[in-house]
Structure 1
């Protein structure tokens, strides 16, 4: 059995049941294909979440034409085909043409691999003359037309449309903190990336809160989130002290949790990670094509809305990351760091690779927490239970922060429930030193609400109740 790769050979995901799963259906095949482009691409988490949602919405809308009650998101029931045509072959063809169109639009650099998959499946990607191919093409065209003007600025390379400028000048991570205009606010970081180039990434997609959400509720839910602690408050000092203490006391298990959920550059990112976890649910429960089309439709749109909601909150708060707060508060004070050294607090670094010390956007709220809680809520609703029962092995020495050193032995992470997995994903960012407690916990609460709203909307579409 081929087990999905979650983190570049550092881990292995283990499904609950040992029985050989059925061959991957079209929903799984196209999900896998898009994730490969995600890994080799440069889009950040909110853009990846949107890309997955678009492809799975195109697949769902094409599939809905071959269901007796489901309606599409853009064209309603206008594409409905007669019951005699509701065959597996027609669904496969319509889904593939829809998914292919979406994938090429979202990741044009991957066209050759997407075309190759079509040919492997027995389809000519340039020929949409058959009824099923035409259904797929029309369904996806309507979705893409809508999403090209959804506020993401995809056609403009996802560039910011709001004119955001940071109030703080960049901090060079290799040097002690010097100037800081406002300790409450986000600060860009300058560091040497994996390619050996010194970079200062700007705030990623500060306009993302304005992207049209699937449920229509993401922004309102985000705007109700309590604000981040401000400099000068007891809460601000306490949250920084907690991160200093937490990272100084990391065990190998804590480090393994941080690494497993990190989902940084060259990975599936957090949205794609949950797509892989959902794949194990499909294998565990031996899903049909119909089930997986609906599951991924609901899941991907919930995760897209989680990205919109968390980025709306991040932009509104524009809050400092731990590296800024700790270096400012502890400058001139000796503190213990995660590798056991006593250092000047002005040089503190989180438990992250030096080539990507902290993601380039505000702290409050945690995207990992929001994405994960939204995904967990959808999977719980779809399966009818919070039970997950999966595990992952983090290999000895696989840490990207301490390669060859941590963990000293293989570490097995187990999640009895989806909620446990989501909570661990949120906690991992505190172990990693890049999120505060409030950013994590409020992100979890926001994600659960966003996931529920997306679930309600998705299930209304496939039950035929959506207008």
Structure 2
């Protein structure tokens, strides 16, 4: 829908305005850090492969979306607020940034491919759609009927819908800073060891030049950091698939050929790598930590996102059952059909 004069479908109609002005990536050594508010999100300007863009906060209006099972869009705000995003100048703010720098410096080929696999950026199925693909795997594996699929996908997409609301309400409320801004702010003028960019490996650099392990055409998603959408979507999706199947068993995998990296094509990985998920929980947890490998999220946003997603998924499942009216999926007697 379009509620703005811009003519852009689904554009923000709530008047959100960022605290910080847009910047290029990396911020660099010459950036005016004194003018930066280190607790708030900052838009980025970059070349997306076709043109130079400065995306605004995508989904800034999602706190106004009607949930499926949540009693209100902000139902889980007290939960996310209990942990909150770390704020400058706290020690946690600095230590969470140092943790990401350490990950960046020690990235393995497997971690790089995990970061890339779960990117789900523009022109892909996006994080919510990723769990629909997993549900297709379950449908084939478990020999679903059309009736089975109708129920499973209904419950799954309803939970993912609510997960998006829960995550984006927190993003709008806390408006928290991304690592791509926070790390250069903290460590500009200091020497750090980190991934230096495609094909460069781990290098010594000025902290102002730190960048995430992401394609330069999409260096960081255009919305605030806390909580992680990937973690929330994935935990909610895993919760539904566990409850639907009556088991956490998953058994899916994906294999990357040598040199198939998007970020470091022809070089990474050095040998073929297979990602295997024995359980839905394994897949959801890997989706969450992938954002730390990629330098997109801090640990707290990942872990609180996972916990929020599980709560959202359980609530959506309970409401979906009332629509199913099917004893085979009664919450008191879960199990394979």
Q: What residue is the counterpart of 1:207 in the other structure?
A: 61
Distance 1:221 1:156 in 2: 30
Q: Distance in 2 between matches of 1:186 and 1:457?
A: 35
Which of the numbers 2, 22, 25 marks the counterpart of 1:173?
A: 25
Match of 2:48 among 193, 197, 207: 193
Residues 405-445 of structure 1: per-residue CA shift (max 9 Å, x gap): 11111111111110010000000000000100000000000
Matched, 1:352 2:209: no
Match among 137, 157, 177 for residue 320 of structure 1: 177
**What is the CA-CA distance between 1:331 and the residue it aligns to?**
0.4
Q: Which runs of 5+ in 1 are unaligned?
A: 1-147
CA apart distance, 1:172? 1.3
Mapped contact 2:27–2:184 kept (Cα < 8 A): no
Contact 2:254 2:274 in 1 (8 A): yes
Query: Is 2:248 aligned against 1:379?
Result: no
TM alignment of 1:263-282, pairs within 5 A: 263-282=120-139
**3-state DSSP of counterpart to 1:455:** helix
TM-align CA RMSD? 2.0
Change in 2 beyond 3 A, CA 1:175/1:328: closer
Q: Which residue number corresponds to residue 254 of structure 1?
A: 111
Matched length: 315
1:431 matched to 2:283? The reply is: no
Q: Is the 8 A contact 2:26 2:211 kept in 1?
A: no
Structure 1 position 365 matched with structure 2 position 227: yes
Q: Choose from 86, 94, 110 the match for 1:237.
A: 94
Q: 1:255 to 1:152 in 2, by over 3 A?
A: farther
Q: Distance in 2 between matches of 1:440 and 1:175?
A: 24
Q: Which residue of 2 aligns with 1:450?
A: 312
1:159-170 counterparts in 2 under 5 A?
Answer: 159-170=11-22
C-alpha distance in 2, partners of 1:464/1:412? 38
TM-score (norm 1): 0.65
- 2:74 alignment partner, SS class: helix
Alpha carbons 2:27, 2:181 under 8 Å: kept:
no
Matched residues in 2 for 1:388 and 1:222: separation? 31
Corresponding position: 1:216 with 2:70: yes
Runs (4+) of structure 1 moved beyond 4 Å?
A: none
Contact 2:26 2:210 in 1 (8 A): no
Structure 2 length as normaliser, TM-score?
Answer: 0.90
Aligned partners of 2:90, 2:125: CA distance in 1, in Å?
A: 37
Greater helix fraction, Structure 1 or Structure 2: 1
Structure 2: runs of 5 or more not aligned? 196-200, 328-337
Contact in 2 for aligned 1:223/1:312 (Cα 8 Å)? no
